[in-house]
Amino acid sequence: MKNLDNTLKTILIIAIIIIINLISLQIFTRIDITKGKKYSISKYSKNLVGNLKDKLTIKAFFTPNIPSPYNKLERDVKDKLEEYKAFANRYFQFEFVKDKDKEKFVQEASRYGIPEVRVNAIEKDEAVIKNVNMGLVIMYEDRTETIPVIEGTQNLEYDISAKINKLIKKNLPEVGFLQGHGELDFENKLQNIKKQLEANYELKAINLAENKTALEDAEVLVIAAPKSKIPLDEQYAIDQFIMKGKKVLFMMDNVEADIQTQPPKAEFYPNDMNLWFANYGFKINRDLVYDAQSQNVQVQQVINNRRHISFMRYPFFIQVADFNKTNLIVKNLNPITLFFASSVDTSFAAEKGIRTIKLASSSKRSGLQDGRLNIAAQRNTNLKYAKQNILLAALLTGNFSSYFSDKSLPDSLNIDTSGMIRDGSESRLLAIGNAQFISDDYLSQSNALFFANSIDWMAQEKGLIQIRSKNIVAPKLDDISVGAKSTIKFIIRFLPTILIILFGIIMWQNKKRRYKRFGRFMQ
């Protein structure tokens, strides 16, 4: 009878576990104990779907029976969409498209721009290649956005929320890239940056020499690496843009460097505009920063008439890791790399009532060159790394005053200054002593995130930064003492054995007591 009771109890427990699992498959629940709520959608995403004004539908196309490891992806995507739904209002809905006719399924997916992709799989101990669909289409009013291929869930929330944001906002903020003075070519040198930003912004080239009103609709202006001075009439247009509370990124490449020549050459571009910049509380100095914390480059040397190739740290390709951990733009960022960067000076900004936020600095072993520059890799072994934390990027915020408020422009420029704004609205500027780091030739993932976060911050899209930053840095283990490490290792190594021995002793003692009782009973 007792054995029957135990059997019934076991069956009941198993049944309860099965029922709980079946219910959990139908009802979304999640307990996220990670520090940054890495597996939960952000407040920004919750607000996005909680304030929908019209029906938003997400259709997921996942080919049935996708091989491992992609089969888990469908479940993860469903969990993420369930979480969106849990915080959304009545206008949010999603569905996983199913069709027994594979050809029709593929055709419908293709109609929304979701292609078949080839994945490797193991079937019956053989490697095979399968064509599968793994994408989402998001529909709002008469507009659609597509995530053609989902290969992982690391950036899934950012991808979904960015698409929803783009659908909801009929007019995305406009970001202009100044052209006409040797800046990074908007059409040919910024392709990867454009891909990173185009989901959330209208991007366009701004040429003030050709169109005086080109800044009218822009919210943010990027000035990236002008090789010559920006003329006064264009400076005036940019100045008034700032006075209206619009934002500008000043990214200056002061040094023209060529490391392919023998010896390598470096000189300053004729683009010194610090007199103008100083009005807004900063200068990008006419110097060249070097740093012991730097990237490797390939070097060729001729020794005994034989050519040798080796790698060595090149102090002018700075790996910047000293970030302001309190600022959203950089607080979760991995190191970025700057190429032939100059230092930034904001020491006089406070006198003008301008607030400054230091974003990035050199390491504790760095230095500066000015005047005659020497960038040869082999010749810089005697560089003195006597300086530390040289400022490389800074934010400036406040009510700026017009550079032209006490100046008269030449009549030859034919500029109407009658409507000049002398005291500006609250605005934001970003000063960086480098620009090449965003060009297609030098762009890394960290460099792209730094720039994208900067644009988001300038355009006041902080929510996007929060989502993008969640998955950048893996959580670090806390440092512990050597003694604590030894203790933990000892516990891990011997605790299971000790517990088994203790369990054996207890069982042996119990058995011994039972034998004694049995012996007394038999006597």
User: Which pLDDT belongs to residue 99?
Assistant: 82
The chain-wide mean pLDDT, for the chain, equals 87
CA dihedral 15, 18, 22, 28 (to 10 degrees): 110
Q: pLDDT at residue 305 above 60?
A: yes
Q: pLDDT at residue 85 above 80?
A: yes
Residue, of 505 and 332, whose pLDDT is higher:
505
Q: Do strands 134-140 and 143-147 pair parallel, antiparallel, or not at all (unpaired)?
A: antiparallel
Name the residue with tokens 């529909």.
139
User: Which pLDDT belongs to residue 476?
Assistant: 55
Q: pLDDT at residue 523 above 80?
A: no
List strand residue ranges (DSSP E) for 304-354, in order: 306-320, 322-323, 336-339, 344-345
**Which residues does 457 contact at the CB level (< 8 Å), separation at least 6?**
328, 329, 395, 428, 465
Residue type, 457: W
Which tokens in the block code for residue 163?
């698409």
Count the residues in the chain. Answer: 523
* SS3 per-residue string spanning 396-424: EEEEEECCCCCCCCCHHHCCCCCCCCCEE
pTM across the whole model: 0.75
Name the residue with tokens 């392919």.
260
Is residue 195 within 8 Å of 223, Cβ to Cβ? Answer: no
Percent over 70 (pLDDT), the chain: 90
Per-residue b or e along 161-177, where b marks 16 or more CB atoms closer than 10 Å to that residue's CB? bbbbbbbbeeebbbbbb
Which tokens in the block code for residue 498?
């000790």
Which residue in 20, 95, 93 sits closest to 60, CA to CA? 95
Q: pLDDT at residue 318 above 80?
A: yes
Is residue 449 within 8 Å of 468, Cβ to Cβ? Answer: yes
Q: pLDDT at residue 31 above 80?
A: no
Render pLDDT for 426-465 as a digit per residue (tens, 0 to 9). Answer: 999 999 999 999 999 999 989 999 999 999 998 876 677 7
User: Using 50, 70 and 90 to split pLDDT, how confident is the model at 379?
Assistant: low
Is residue 187 within 8 Å of 212, Cβ to Cβ? Answer: no
Stretch among 335-349, 393-407, 481-495 having the lowest mean pLDDT: 481-495
Q: pLDDT at residue 66 above 90?
A: no
Render pLDDT for 323-358 as a digit per residue (tens, 0 to 9). Answer: 998 998 998 889 999 999 999 999 999 999 999 999
Render pLDDT for 136-187 as a digit per residue (tens, 0 to 9). Answer: 999 999 899 999 999 888 788 988 998 998 898 878 899 999 999 999 999 9
Query: What gap in Å lies between CA 374 and CA 265, rounded to an integer?
Result: 7
Which tokens in the block code for residue 126?
């053989």
